[in-house]
């Protein structure tokens, strides 16, 4: 078993690419979960593209399973005066698994300022019940501490497919930064699973990320994450994800398209 910092440290570089072997404790079924795929792509980009400004957005497509020995190949697509676009492909033993495009942008003076993403009024982590349960096949959740601060548990047939969670890495060596935050933001199950009667298979198809700040900081490792399914039908669900830090400042907003097999 390897915790998050050990896993990142085990990445090797060769030429213009990187490689890593991921242990079973990071699997979701037969593949690593999407958040780790995205984090590996982003880490490979950081190692090979120099002088990158902060991450502003990302688009990821999860094309196939990623297992065993993985390779990450980043490519600088365009470097402008203030922005850099970088692509990254993650390949596993069965071929292309994840294709990512990252947009990095330097901050610049602006007269425009608007903040409308307000954190929900929820209890602190110590006053919220434990969230993650031991479910066969979902090995990766053991790497995270989660507390349900609002909404409903999966498989509860709750009134609204939404969950508000406090999340943090169990690895105490993790320092708040963009790569471990990306890995953490995809740790919760899809919000549509609140509507499930029993466990059923799911698969994230695409993930779009917008960063709201370049200050990736929080206290005691805790991040507040709200995920809500806005539509579900025909075997797919569209959902939103918002991440705040422990001070309830908005950090990240996301959209995901999920395939559901129930």
pTM above 0.85, yes or no: yes
Query: Cα 162 to the chain's mean position, in Å?
Result: 17
Element (H, E) at 184: helix 178-185
Pairing of strands 202-211, 250-260: antiparallel
- pLDDT of 68 > 90? The answer is no
Q: Are 106 and 83 in contact (CB under 8 A)?
A: yes
- Which tens digit of pLDDT belongs to each residue from 101-143? 999 999 989 999 998 899 999 999 999 999 998 877 789 999 9
Strands 144-151 and 69-79: unpaired
Q: What is the 3-state secondary structure (H, E, C) of 42-69?
A: HHHHHHHCCCCCCEEEEEEEECCCCCCE
- Tracing tokens 């709750």 back to the chain, one arrives at 158
What six digits make up the tokens of 150? 């609002």
Domain chopping of the chain, boundaries: 4-106+125-260
CB 100 within 8 A of CB 88: yes
pLDDT tens-place string over residues 12-60: 998 889 999 999 999 998 899 999 999 999 999 999 987 899 999 999 9
- Three-state SS string over 137-175 comes to CEHHHHHEEEEEEEECCCCCCCCCCEEEEEEEECCCCCC
| CATH tag, 4-106+125-260 | 2.40.160.210
């Amino acid at each position: 078993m390897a915790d998050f910092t050990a896993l990142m440290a085990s990445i090797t570089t060769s030429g213009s690419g990187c490689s890593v072997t991921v242990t079973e404790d990071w699997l979701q079924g037969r593949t690593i979960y999407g958040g780790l795929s995205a984090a590996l792509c982003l880490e490979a980009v950081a190692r090979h593209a120099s002088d990158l400004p902060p991450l502003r957005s990302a688009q990821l497509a999860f094309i196939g399973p990623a297992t065993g020995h993985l390779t990450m190949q980043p490519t600088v697509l365009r470097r402008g005066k203030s922005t850099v676009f970088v692509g990254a492909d993650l390949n596993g033993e069965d071929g292309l698994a994840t294709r990512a495009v990252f947009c990095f942008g330097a901050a610049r003076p602006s007269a425009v300022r608007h903040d409308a993403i307000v954190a929900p009024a929820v209890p602190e982590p110590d006053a919220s019940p434990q969230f993650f349960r031991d479910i066969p096949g979902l090995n990766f959740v053991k790497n995270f501490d989660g507390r349900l601060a609002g909404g409903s548990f999966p498989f509860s047939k709750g009134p609204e497919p939404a969950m508000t969670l406090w999340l943090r890495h169990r690895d105490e060596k993790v320092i708040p930064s963009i790569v471990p935050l990306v890995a953490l933001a995809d740790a919760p199950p899809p919000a549509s699973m609140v509507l499930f009667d029993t466990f059923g298979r799911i698969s994230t198809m695409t993930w779009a990320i917008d960063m709201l700040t370049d200050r990736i900081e929080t206290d005691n490792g805790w991040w507040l994450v709200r995920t809500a399914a806005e539509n579900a039908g025909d075997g797919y669900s569209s959902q939103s994800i918002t991440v705040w830090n422990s001070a309830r400042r908005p950090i990240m907003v996301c959209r995901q398209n999920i395939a559901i097999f129930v």
